[in-house]
Amino acid sequence: MKLNLSYEWTRLRRILFVKSAKMFSSNGHQDRMRKPKRMSESEQTACEIYLQLLHNKESKLHYDIKTQECYISSGDKTLFVFLEAGNVKIINSVFGYDVHISHDLEQFLLDKFIREMAIRRMTFKREVLSKINHSLDLTLEKVKNGNFRKIETK
């Protein structure tokens, strides 16, 4: 019972953090979170693995809305990292490692994940919109030059 209550409390804090991060980031008023200064050796290693995989452009980012957990998989599907409540789970093709992390480090890694997802989403959106704008520019050019067919109505 105590473990379940602790898990629910951590989950609630994470939900509130994500909601506030979304609200503040859309307004542009949120300061960047700082990396915690005091970390154990295992926390430092897990943090570096997490950040390296997160910033790799070939990696895939996944976010579970229900559990508020972040998942990252390498492009070649040989390394997986899960950010859970108070824990980073690192799985390569042979071994799995659970690294318990502080609340500050968890919030830092979650903030980095949210920012990277936003960057990738905006990059994707700009790419799609640029294709539409290019198509509209070509259509306008055809209309100006008279190189278009009249649309017949029935």
What's the mean pLDDT in 27-49? Answer: 79
Confidence grade of residue 88 (pLDDT, cut at 50, 70, 90):
very high
Q: Do the domain assignments include residue 59?
A: yes
Q: pTM for this structure? A: 0.65
Domain, as residue range, for 102: 2-117
Q: For 117-145, give the DSSP string.
A: HHHHHHHHHHHHHHHHHHHHHHHHHHHHH
What local confidence, expressed as pLDDT, does residue 32 receive? 67
Q: Do the domain assignments include residue 37?
A: yes
Q: Do the domain assignments include residue 140?
A: no
Each residue's pLDDT tens digit, 102-112: 999 999 999 99
Q: Mean pLDDT, the chain, as a whole number?
A: 81
How many other C-beta atoms are found inside a 10 Å radius of the C-beta of residue 126? 10
Is pLDDT at 151 greater than 50 in this prediction? no
Q: How many domains are there within the chain? A: 1
Q: Do the domain assignments include residue 148?
A: no
What local confidence, expressed as pLDDT, does residue 154 receive? 45
The residue with greater pLDDT, 23 or 34, is 34
CB 38 within 8 A of CB 108: no
Each residue's pLDDT tens digit, 56-79: 999 999 988 888 788 999 989 899
Q: Do the domain assignments include residue 143?
A: no
What local confidence, expressed as pLDDT, does residue 153 receive? 44
Is pLDDT at 82 greater than 50 in this prediction? yes
Per the structure block, which two tokens stand in for 115?
A: 């920012």
Q: Do the domain assignments include residue 149?
A: no
